[in-house]
Structure formats: C-alpha cells, structure tokens
Amino acid sequence: MIVFALPTLASNILQTLSGSVNAIWVGQFLGNSALAATANANIIMFLMFATFFGFGMAATVLIGQAIGRGDIDAARRATGGVVGLALLFSLVIAVVGWFASDAILRWLETPAEAFALAHDYLRVTFIAVPASMMMVTLMMASRGAGDAITPLRFMILTVVLDIVLNPVLILGLGPAPRLGIAGSALATAIAGTISLIGMVGWFYAKNHPLRLRGRELGYLVPSLSELRFIIGRGLPMGAQMLVISGAGLVMVGLVNREGLVTAAAYGATLQLWNYIQMPALAVGAAVSAMVAQNIGAGRWDRVSTVTNSGIAINLAMTGVLIGLLLAFDRAALGLFLGDGSEAIEVARHIQLLATWTFLPFGTTIVLIGTLRANGSVIPPLIILALSMFPIRLGFYWLGYPMLGADAIWWSFPLSSLASVAMAWAVYRRGNWRRVLAQPAATSS
C-alpha cells in the first residue's frame, strides 16, 4: 500500500506545491488583496472539479474491478466513457463560468479590495478547465488501473512549467507581457495543457493498458449501461465533494465577513492545510483502488486488512506533518503573507485551534474510500452532509455570540470528530459489503 500510495502522495504534494509557490508569487509581488482574491477563486474551482469528481470515481471503481478480473476491454470502455463525459462537462463549465464569474464572487461576499483581482484570476482559470479536468480524469483512471507512476511523471512536468511561468507572466519578464494576477492563472492553464498533450502521447507511445485505438475510440461515447452506473454511483460521490466544497464556500463567506486581514490569514492557512491533508487523500485513493481490485478478484478477506493498514499509515504520516507545521508555522506563513504582515498572528491562531482536525478527517477519508470501492455511496454522502452543515454550521451560529471568529475555527475539529464516528459505525455495522458494484462497463 505504501509503494502504491507514495507516487499519488508525491503527485498531490507537487500539485499543492505548485499552488503554494504561485500563492507566494502572488502574495509577494501583488499583496494581500491578490492573495485573498486567489483564495476566493480557488475554492470556486474546487467546487467545479468536485461536481465531476464523483463520475471519475465511479469509473475508477469499474476500472479497478475490471483490472482485478483481468478484463482489459471493460477497463478501456469505462475509461473512454468517463473521458468523453469529462470533455463535454468541462466545456459547459468553462462557458458558464466565464459569464457567471462576477455573480459567484458577489455571492461569496468577496472583499471589495480583492474583487477586481479575483474577477481577472477566475475568468482565466475557467478557460483552463477543459484541459485541467481531462488531465485529472486520466490520472484517476490510471490509478484505478494500478498505475500511479504515469500521473506522477506528468504532474512533475505540470509543476515545473507552472512555477517557471508564473513570475514570467505576472511580472512580464523578457518578451512576455505583464499580466499581473491574470498571468498566474494563465501560467497554470498553459502548464496543464502541455502536460495533458504529453500524457496522452505517453499513453500511446507506451501502449498503456487504458489507451484507446481503432474501434475502441467509440468508447468515448458511453453505453447506456455504463452511463447508468457512472451517473447512478457518480452523482452521490460527486455530491460528497459538493458537500465538502459547498461547506468550504460557506466558510470563505463567513471568514470574509471578518475583514481582509482574516481573509488573507485564512487563505495562507488553506495553503498549508493542503499539505496536511495530502497523506489522507493519497492513502484513501490507494485504499479505494486496492479494495476495488480485491473485490473484483473475489478476495474479500483482504478488504479489512487494507482498510486498517490505510488508517494506521494515514495517522502516522498526518501526525508527523501536523507536528512539523505547528513547530515552524511562523516561517511557513511568512512565505505567503510576508514577515511583517499582521495576518500572520491571526493565521497562527487558526492553526493552533484547528490543524489537528486532519487526524479524524484522514480516518474518515480512508473509511469512505473502502465503502465507495464497492459502490456504497449514499452512507458517506449522509455522513458528510450531517457533519459539514448541521454540525459545523450549527456550532458556528450557536457559538459565534460567545466565541466570535473562534467559532469558525473550532467548528472544523468538531465536525471531523462527528464524521469519523459515523463513518466507523457504518463500516463496522453497515451492509455495504452486500452492495456489490455491478461491472456495467462489460455490457455491450
């Protein structure tokens, strides 16, 4: 599991590193208003990707179980179906997002000082959605087939290009135009597009198990049986991410009410939290893929072992990262906010109160990964919906008169503890083991 999870973890770290370096460029060159603008825009983009995430995960279940059975054609059929769906979905999102940018930012109560910058950044980012979504979809499919190395290779390429192009386009170095915050978004778009082209070429050059040729290109139009499975399982999985991202949007709105300093502090905190959650996401993905393949192979005896190992590995890795972050938080936050920023102390306070939330959060992610590997998607949705809204927001509204902004930060660990308790109960007592995911992709 560690060998399989490490390339995914490295890919996630590199992706987050790219975003962090970009935030450093933006914060140092353009100031706190620009940093707050990127935080507002990035949560919106997470929401867009979360909308499609469930379809990709449903296809990954099909791919993993097909690989476990040794049915390569079914794995390719599932890959083609989700890639075709991703292309259509991302084009619609790009067009709608371009025209709805201002309305979305107003709904988020984006601070006036950051509104124009967020507008420019968000619009350019929407242009990049199709290439980015196709890249993410291919990476998910590849991991579902047990190949975590290919996504890592092209994540490295993406990160290198993004880090190099950001200062060039922000500052207008050499012959490049000076684009400011829009240059940061454009650099990310260019890097993602080049990497997507490279990854597709690699699939064909290396005869990757999921590559499509000849009649297989027709798999880009999914059959009705595949579409029913991907949509039927994918909608609840996507809804899980929408619940998380929707709660994130609400929290951004609540933080924005506290003023620009708190918004900038929260933006820097989110950058660091992205690293803390990396082990949970990587291990959760590894657990889900391994459980799906073992279910496909009929090896139910391995499922509990995989899950328990995932929980232990995640707790160890996440615990170490939390300790390092709290030990060096001032230096880390200074990278994004500048050494003299008044937002640093606010961000340190947020870290002390809420960073440990990622221990129960990671355990929940591993348990949910096991459940969804067999197509059990409704219980995780209910768990996340309850923990993110009635519990988290309920605590905020009840606690704010007494705690002020601290009610926001304390709501994070409270909701995570509730979610892990509910997820463990479903894992131990639920009937998810009897809800066998049907390999609909094998139907013609």
Q: Which residues of 321-354 are buried (b: 16+ CB within 10 A; e: fewer)?
A: bbeebeeebeebbbbbbbeebebbebbbbbbebb
Rounded Cα distance, 370 and 283, in Å: 11
203 pLDDT band, cuts 50/70/90, is very high
Q: How much of the chain, in percent, has pLDDT values that exceed 70?
A: 95
Would residue 437 count as lying in a domain?
no
- With CA atoms as reference, report the closest residue to 282 among 117, 139, 123: 139
Q: How much of the chain, in percent, has pLDDT values that exceed 90?
A: 21
According to the model, what pLDDT value does residue 443 have?
Answer: 39
Would residue 47 count as lying in a domain?
yes
Q: Tell me if 374 sits within 8 A of 436, measured CB to CB.
A: yes
Who wins on pLDDT, 292 or 382?
382
Lowest mean pLDDT among 260-269, 352-361, 431-440: 431-440
234 pLDDT band, cuts 50/70/90, is confident
Top mean-pLDDT range of 252-261, 336-345, 364-373:
364-373
Would residue 258 count as lying in a domain?
yes
Rounded Cα distance, 36 and 114, in Å: 6
Round the average pLDDT of the chain to a whole number and report it. 84
In angstroms, the first-to-last Cα distance of the chain is: 34
Who wins on pLDDT, 146 or 441?
146
Rounded Cα distance, 172 and 166, in Å: 10
pLDDT in tens, 4-35: 788 888 887 887 777 777 777 777 777 777 77
Rounded Cα distance, 114 and 324, in Å: 31
Domain count, the chain: 1
Would residue 30 count as lying in a domain?
yes
292 pLDDT band, cuts 50/70/90, is confident
205 pLDDT band, cuts 50/70/90, is very high
Rounded Cα distance, 323 and 328, in Å: 9
118 pLDDT band, cuts 50/70/90, is confident
Q: Tell me if 23 sits within 8 A of 267, measured CB to CB.
A: yes
According to the model, what pLDDT value does residue 440 have?
Answer: 44
* Structure-token match 């938080």, residue found: 329
Who wins on pLDDT, 433 or 362?
362
Query: Residue 302 pLDDT more than 80?
Result: yes
Would residue 435 count as lying in a domain?
no
Domain region containing 327? 2-430
308 pLDDT band, cuts 50/70/90, is very high
Query: Residue 437 pLDDT more than 80?
Result: no
Would residue 419 count as lying in a domain?
yes
Other residues' Cβ atoms within 10 Å of the Cβ of residue 28: 16
Query: Residue 436 pLDDT more than 60?
Result: no
Who wins on pLDDT, 143 or 33?
143
According to the model, what pLDDT value does residue 320 have?
Answer: 93
pLDDT in tens, 383-431: 989 998 899 889 999 999 999 889 999 999 999 999 999 999 999 887 7
According to the model, what pLDDT value does residue 325 have?
Answer: 87
Lowest mean pLDDT among 139-148, 184-193, 294-303: 294-303
Would residue 444 count as lying in a domain?
no
Q: Tell me if 102 sits within 8 A of 134, measured CB to CB.
A: no
Would residue 442 count as lying in a domain?
no
